[in-house]
Structure 1
Amino acid sequence: MTTTTSHVPEHVPDPGGPADGAAGPRPVRLIHTESTTEIPLHLLFRDAPGPAPVRLPPAVVARRPGAGRPDGGERPRPAAVRVDPGPAERPARVLPGAAGVFAGVCGAAGCLATSWWAGVLPPLAAEALGVPARAGAGGPGPAQWAAYAGAGVLGLFGFGGLARGRTGRAWVLGLFGRYRGTVRRTGLLWVNPLLLRRRVDVRLRHWRGEPVPAADRSGVALRVTVLVVWRVRDTARATLGVEDHEGYLRACVEAALLRVPMAGPGAGREAAEAAQDALTRLVAADTEAVGVEVFAVRPVRVEYAPEVAAAMHRRRIAALDAQHRASVLGSVVDSVEDTVTRLTMRGLVELDDYERKALVKDLTVAFCAGRGEAGP
C-alpha cells in the first residue's frame, strides 16, 4: 500500500503579500506552540499488491438492560405456550364378572338366611328352600338388622358392579372428579359401582361436515366439504382434557381450512394431494393434545362461494376459449408452414419474399375459415 505524507504549513500566507514564488517576510505565528507533524494518508488506490488485509472478528456488544424500551425497562419476552392435556390414559382395576356374581349371590343368600334366623321367612319360601320353618321371636333384633345390612350391601355391590365390555367401546372411570383409569376389556366385568362411568367410542370413525369457508392461493373464496377419518387414541385426554372432543375436532378442521390454501375447482391432482397432506398434518398436530388421532382430512367437494361463482365461471369459460383459440392458431400455423415448405421444396412454385408473404396470408385465412366452419 502506497503511503504519502503531508506537511502542515508553518505559516499562513498573507492575501495581500507577493505572488507565488516571490520571497517575502515570514509572518508572525498565530500559534506560538505550532509544530510540523507528519500525517500518513492511505490512498484508495494502490499500484503494487500489498499484504492481505487483516480481518478482525465481529465485535459482540452486550445489550444493556432497559435499552429495548423507551421508559428504560426491560422488554418482556413472550413466554412459550404450553398446553396441559391432562392425565394420560391408564388401565383401571377391575375384576372378572364371576366375582361380582358370586358376591351378589352371597348377599342374596345372606338375606334369606337372616330372614330365616329372624323367623320372618314365609313357610312357602322355607319349603321351597328345603329348610324347616322357624317361628318368629317378635321380629328381627339388632343382630338380624346388622346381618341384613351386611348382606344387602354385599349383594348390591356384587350385582351393581356388573358391566359388559364391548369391542370398540371403553369406559372412563372417575371418583369424586378424579380420574381412576380406563376399561378397554370385553366380556362380563365387575367395576366398582361407586365410580362414575363415561362411555367412549374408540372405533375408527369418519365425519363429513358441512361446507366450510376457505380460499385458494389467489384468495378466491371457496366452499369446501371435507371427510375426516379419526379415532380416539387416549380416552382420558379426550374426555377430561376437552369438553367435547368431536366439537373440538370440527373447530380444528375449520381453522386448518382457513390456514391452508386449497386447490380450486379444476385444479390438478398434485395440488389437491398437497392441500390434503397439509390439512392432515395441521389437524393431527392440533388434536394430538386431546388424545384424538387423525388419519386423513380429504376434501371431497370444492366449489366457489356463491358471491364469486358466476364471475369465476365466466373466467373459466374465457380461459378455455383462449386455450382453444391458441391450439387452433398453432395448428393453422403448422399447416401453412408445411404447405409452403412442400411447394418450395418440390419446385412447384418460385416465390420471392413478397409473394411468399402473400401466400402465407391467403393460406392462413383459408385454414382459419375452414376451422371455423368445422367448429371446435
Structure 2
Amino acid sequence: MKTQEFEFKGFVGNGFAFLFLNLILTALSVASFFLGDVLGAMAYILGVVGLVLTFFIWAGVKQLEPNEARVMVFFGEYKGTFRRTGFYWVNPFLEAKKVSLRARNLNVEPIKVNDKVGNPILIGLVLVWRLKDTYKALFEIDSQTMASKSNEAGASVAGRMKAFEDFVRVQSDAALRQVAGLYAYDNNEGGENELTLRNGGEEVNEQLVQKLNERLAMAGMEVMEARINYLAYAPEIAAVMLRRQQASAIISAREKIVEGAVSMVKMALDRLDTDEIVELDEEKKAAMVSNLLVVLCADEPAQPVINSGTLNH
C-alpha cells in the first residue's frame, strides 16, 4: 500500500470538450421527447438515458486554479494528487478533495511560558505556512473529522484549510514553549555573550522554524518563516524586573563614574607632584583623594568650603 503522495495517473479529459458534448447530448435528449409520438417508446427511453448521461458528465467537470490541488479518492482508495491547473473532466466516481497549496499567515496569540531560568514571560509569534504533502495532510492526521466539526459541509476547501490551521496553531504553541525554555529572557542571569530571547534575533527564529517543521512534517505542512512578534515579562514580575533593570543600569553608570573619578584623581596628584605646585604628605593626599572622590561621584553639586589653615605643619 502506498503511503506517500504521488501524481494522479488516471484519465483526464478536456473540460471544454466534455462541456460541448454535454450540451449536444442535452439538446438531443430533450428533442427525443418531442419525437416520441413519431419514433415511439424507444425515443423516450433514449431521452431518459441521455439525460442520465448528462448528469454523469456534469458531475465529472472540475476546475483548478494555480497553487491548488485535488486529492483523488476512488471508493476510499487514494489514486493520486492532481495539480494541473485549468478546466478538465475526470471519472465522476472519483472523489476529488480540493485543497489549497498557497502560503498562509498565522498569528499566534501571546502565551505564558517559563524561560530557561524559570522566569514567567509572555511570548507570541507570527508564521507563514503552506501545505506541502497532500497525502499526509488528509490521511495521516484526522483533518477531515476536524473539518466536519468546524464546517457543516465538511467537504469544502475552507473547512479543510481551517482544520489544517487549527493543527498548525496547536503545534506552534508547543514548539514555542519548547524554544522559549531553551533561552533566558535577558542576560541578567548569564554571561554577556549568552544567547537570549531578546538578543537572539535570527538564531532564535531559525530554531523556531526548525522545531515547527519537525512537528508539522507528520501532517505534510511546511513553515516557511516564523518570527517572535511579542516578548515581555509576565505581569506578576514585570514591575520587579523593571526595578532590577533600573538597578543594573545605575550600577553600570556608577562603575563608569568611579572609574573616571579615580583616573582624574590620579591625574591631579601626578600633576601636582610633577609641577611641584605643593608638597603633600600621605595624610594630606588621602584627604585630598577623599574630597575629590566625593565631589566627582556625588549626585548633588559640591558645596565649597574655604580652608583658612595651612597645608604645612
1:117 aligns with 2:46: no
CA displacement 1:313-337 (0-9 Å, x = unmatched): 2222222222222222222222222
Match of 1:188 in 2: 87
CA shift for structure 1 position 224: 0.9
Give the deviation of 1:301 after TM superposition: 0.8
Deviation at 1:265, TM superposition (A): 6.3
* 2:165 counterpart (225, 233, 246): 246
Asked if structure 2 preserves the Cα contact closer than 8 Å seen for 1:224 and 1:301, the reply is yes
Q: What residue in structure 2 maps to residue 264 of structure 1? A: 185
For the 8 Å contact 2:36–2:44, the answer to whether it is kept is no
Partner of 2:154: none
- Partner of 2:35: helix, strand, or coil? helix
Deviation at 1:238, TM superposition (A): 1.3
Kept in 2: contact 1:111–1:148 (CA 8 A): yes
Same amino acid, percent of matched pairs: 29
Structure 1 residue 168: Cα displacement:
2.4
1:328 to 257, 262, 270: 257
Rounded Cα–Cα distance in structure 1 between residues aligned with 2:290 and 2:45: 117
What is residue 218 of structure 1 aligned with on the other side?
117
Secondary structure in 1 matching 2:200: helix
Report what 2:7 is aligned to.
Answer: 90
Q: How does 1:1-376 map to 2 (within 5 A)?
A: 86-91=3-8, 93=10, 94-119=12-37, 136=38, 140-141=40-41, 143-242=42-141, 243=143, 244-260=163-179, 261-262=182-183, 264=185, 270-369=199-298, 371-373=299-301
Cα deviation digits, residues 322-374 of structure 1 (max 9, x gap) = 222222222222222222222222222333333322221111111123x5449
SS of alignment partner, residue 350 of structure 1? coil
Provide the aligned C-alpha RMSD in A.
2.7
SS at structure 1 position matched to 2:106: strand
Aligned 8 A contact 2:33 2:44 in 1: no
Ranges in structure 1 where 5+ consecutive residues have no aligned partner: 1-83, 120-135
Q: Is the 8 A contact 1:103 1:157 kept in 2?
A: no
* Aligned partners of 1:217 and 1:263 also within 8 Å: yes
CA contact (8 A) 2:108 2:173 kept: no
- The one-letter code matched in structure 2 to 1:247 is D
Matched residue of 2:109: which SS?
coil
Highest Rg: 1 or 2?
1
Instruction: Provide closer, same or farther for how the CA distance between residues 85 and 188 of structure 1 changes in structure 2, counting only shifts above 3 A.
Output: closer
User: Residue type of the partner of 1:321?
Assistant: I
Instruction: Classify the secondary structure of the residue corresponding to 2:201.
Output: helix
Q: Report the 3-state secondary structure (helix = DSSP H, G, I; strand = E; otherwise coil) of the residue aligned with 2:88.
A: strand
Q: Contact 1:212–1:223 (CA<8 Å) still a contact in 2?
A: yes
In the superposition, relative to structure 1, how do residues 117 and 203 fare at CA in structure 2: closer, same or farther (>3 Å)?
Answer: same
- Cα distance in 1 between the residues matched to 2:20 and 2:47: 18
Ranges in structure 2 where 5+ consecutive residues have no aligned partner? 144-162, 188-195, 303-313
Other structure's SS at 1:88 match: coil
Aligned-pair CA distance for 1:189: 1.7
Please list the CA deviations of residues 136-189 of structure 1 after superposition, one character each: whole Å capped at 9, or x if unmatched.
57xx52x33431243123312323322221122222232322222223222222
- Give the 3 Å change call, closer, same or farther, for CA 335–89 of structure 1 in structure 2: farther
Looking at secondary structure, tell me which structure has more helix per residue.
2
- In the alignment, the residues of structure 1 paired with residue 63 and residue 301 of structure 2 have an alpha-carbon distance, to the nearest angstrom, of 77
Please identify, of 360-369 and 180-189, the stretch whose mean Cα deviation from structure 2 is larger.
180-189
Q: 1:346 to 1:291 in 2, by over 3 A?
A: same
Deviation of 1:234 (Å): 1.1
Q: Tell me, what secondary structure is at the counterpart of 1:271?
A: coil
State the distance in 1 between where 2:186 and 2:173 align: 19
8 Å CA contact retained: 2:171, 2:216 = yes
Q: Provide the C-alpha distance between the structure 2 equivalents of 1:85 and 1:102, rounded to a whole number of angstroms.
A: 37
Q: Distance in 2 between matches of 1:150 and 1:373?
A: 106
My pick for the range that moved more, 297-306 or 196-205, is: 196-205
* 1:302 CA drift (Å): 0.4
Deviations 1:169-218 (A, max 9, x none): 22223232222222322222223333323321211222111112223221
